[in-house]
Amino acid sequence: MLLSATWPSVQLALHSPLVRAGVEALLTSAGVSVVEEGGTVLVVDDTWLERSAELTGAGAVVALGSVAWAGLLPEVTSGGWAVLSPDAAPTELLAGILGAAAGLAVLPPTLLPSLFSAGEDEEEAALPLSGDVTLTPRERDVLALLAAGLSNKRAARELGVSESTVKFHVQAVYSKLGVQSRAAAVTRGIQLGLLSV
């Protein structure tokens, strides 16, 4: 077990009292400080999907639930985030909390196939792969930051440009790759060799 000083404080915003009690017991037994307000990491469940706008500007967020969070969290959080299955193993939950607190995007391998197919319609899935796709250096930078899980705001800070400029480049990347979502752009970028894994 790690010393509690190495753990971020965690605030739980879980709908089910039973789930909340179980997660709290797990975290406290690992030496994690669970607080009522102002935690370094906020843990939410799918009941927050409809209220995700309330998370705007939140620091690190760990979502226990649907893969739909992977499309929302980069847009609303200002820190790292994790999307985990509601029945995530204790080690996965702890890794998600540490990763989010460190500013990373964390997904378990079991969610990756559904994430990369989320948002793809049949037309996107049927698009042939073409080596003729050419991205500008800035579009390649933006695609790499999308693959790293950064929000438009964080990508803008990273690149030293405005958020509007990043949005413009994201739309250009979508158009050139023939996709309509971040996950599909990353998938297509990998397939075309524009991103290395």
Segment 20-36, tens digit of pLDDT: 999 999 999 988 999 99
Res 109 pLDDT > 80: no
Which of 106-115, 142-151, 161-170 is predicted with the least confidence, judged by mean pLDDT? 106-115
Q: Rounded to whole angstroms, how far apart are CA atoms 46 and 193?
A: 34
Output 116 or 39, whichever has higher pLDDT. Answer: 39
Res 129 pLDDT > 60: no
Band (122; pLDDT cuts 50, 70, 90): very low
Q: Rounded to whole angstroms, how far apart are CA atoms 151 and 92?
A: 23
Band (71; pLDDT cuts 50, 70, 90): confident
Output 111 or 151, whichever has higher pLDDT. Answer: 151
Which of 49-58, 125-134, 142-151, 175-184 is predicted with the least confidence, judged by mean pLDDT? 125-134
pLDDT at 23: 92
CA nearest 107: which of 140, 170, 64, 141?
Answer: 64
- Which residues, including other chains, have CB under 8 Å from residue 75's CB and lie 6 or more apart? 151, 152
Computed on alpha carbons and rounded to an integer, the radius of gyration of the chain in Å comes to 18
Residue 28, token pair as written in the block: 């406290």
- In order of their start, the domains of the chain are 4-111 (3.40.50.2300), 119-191 (1.10.10.10)
State mean pLDDT over 94-100: 88
